[in-house]
Amino acid sequence: METVETDALTIARPSSPQDAVAAFGDGAGITVFGGGSIVMVELVHNRLVPEQVLMLDRAGLAGVRSEAERTTIGAMTTVAELETAVEPLGTSARGVADREVRAQATLGGNLCAPPGAESPRGDLQGALIALGAEVRSAGAGGERAEPVEEFLQRGSEPRLVLEVSFETPAAGASASVRRPHAHAYTILAVSGARTAGGVRLAACGVAPHAVRLAVAEQAVADGAEPAAAAARALEGVTPADDALASAWYREQTLPVLVARVLNDLR
C-alpha cells in the first residue's frame, strides 16, 4: 500500500481489496475517495477538510463479473461501464449526468452519495433495489451482505462498499422525468424488475435516497392491474419540495411513471 503524508493529511492508497478493508477499519474519521466526482467538489469548496483519505483507484475493486445468472459489480466500477448493464440498471446508468462524469463516477459512490443540498442523488440506487441487489460492505463488525434498501436506510454508519450483486431478472423496465436541459439531474425515476421473488419497484427522487415502493408491489402481487397498483405508489412515500420540482409535481407524476413501468414489465 502506498501512503502519502503531508502535515495535515494522510492518504492511504491500497493495492488490494484486503488492504482497503484493513485501511478502512471501522471507518471513523476516514474520507473514502472513489471516482472523486462528489468528494472533489466538497474539497474544492472547503466544505470538507479531511485528515485521513482512503483512495480506492488502485484497490482492485473495479469490474463486472457474471457467473450463471448472478452478476457481481465492484464498487469502483464506473457508471459508464454500467451503461450496457441489464435493465433497469443500464437505463439508470445512462441517465447519470453526462459522458465525462459517468466515466469518473462509481457504483460505490452512487450508493454512498449523501443527499445533495438541492436535489436527491443516487440514480443507480432505485435500479439496484428493483433488481433485489445485495451489497457487500466492510466496517465495524466486519464484512456484511444485505439488501441495498436496508443498506441505504442505515444512513450515516461508515461502511466501505465492496461490491453489489443480483440475479438477472426475467424483465426490467424504467421510466423517468428529466429536466429539459443539457445537464440531466433526475427529478423522479421509477425502476421495476420481474424477479424470482415477484415484481419489485423502487423510486429515486421521492426521498433523500431511493426507496422501495412496497405497497404498489404488494398490489401487483395481489393481482391488481398496472393502473390500480400504480395508484397506490404514494402510500408510504412522502416526496419533498426541492430545487428541481415541488412535492405536488412528484405526487402527480409518480403513479404515472409506476404505471408505465408496470405496463412495460407485462
Residue span binding another protein (CB under 8 A) among the ranges 3-11, 123-131, 187-195, 216-224: 3-11
Cell 478502512 belongs to residue: 24
- Closest separation between CB of residue 124 and another protein, Å? 17
Residue span binding another protein (CB under 8 A) among the ranges 43-51, 82-90, 157-165, 210-218: 43-51
Q: Distance between terminal CA atoms of the chain?
A: 50
Distances (CA, A) of 155 to 35, 87, 158, 242: 21, 26, 9, 20
**Number of C-alpha atoms within 13 angstroms, CB side, residue 231?**
4
Residue span binding another protein (CB under 8 A) among the ranges 32-40, 107-115, 186-194, 239-247: 32-40
d(C-alpha 211, C-alpha 190), whole Å: 10
Please count the residues of the chain: 266
| DSSP code string of 14-31 | -SSHHHHHHHHTT-TTEE
- Closest separation between CB of residue 44 and another protein, Å? 5
Distances (CA, A) of 213 to 1, 84, 100, 191, 222: 43, 25, 32, 10, 15
- Closest separation between CB of residue 35 and another protein, Å? 8
Residue whose CB is less far from another protein, 30 or 55? 55
From residue 44 to residue 73, what is the string marking binding to another protein with x (rule CB under 8 A)? Answer: xx----x--x-x-x----------------
d(C-alpha 42, C-alpha 48), whole Å: 5
- Closest separation between CB of residue 179 and another protein, Å? 12
Q: Is residue 195 at the binding interface for another protein, with CB under 8 A as the rule?
A: no
Residue span binding another protein (CB under 8 A) among the ranges 94-102, 188-196, 198-206, 211-219: 94-102
- For another protein (CB under 8 A), the number of binding residues is 27
Residue whose CB is less far from another protein, 57 or 225? 57
Member of 103, 171, 215, 231 binding another protein (CB under 8 A): 103
Contacts of 11 (CB under 8 A, 6+ apart): 3, 4, 5, 33, 53, 54, 55
Residue span binding another protein (CB under 8 A) among the ranges 8-16, 156-164, 236-244, 255-263: 8-16
- Closest separation between CB of residue 107 and another protein, Å? 17
The dihedral through the CA atoms of 182, 183, 189, 194 has a sign that is positive
Member of 37, 106, 176, 253 binding another protein (CB under 8 A): 37
d(C-alpha 57, C-alpha 20), whole Å: 10
Residue whose CB is less far from another protein, 11 or 228? 11
Helices H / strands E in the chain, number of each: 10, 13
Cell 438477472 belongs to residue: 168
Binding stretches for another protein (CB under 8 A): 4, 6, 9, 11, 13, 33, 36-37, 40-41, 43-45, 50, 53, 55, 57, 97-101, 103-104, 182-184
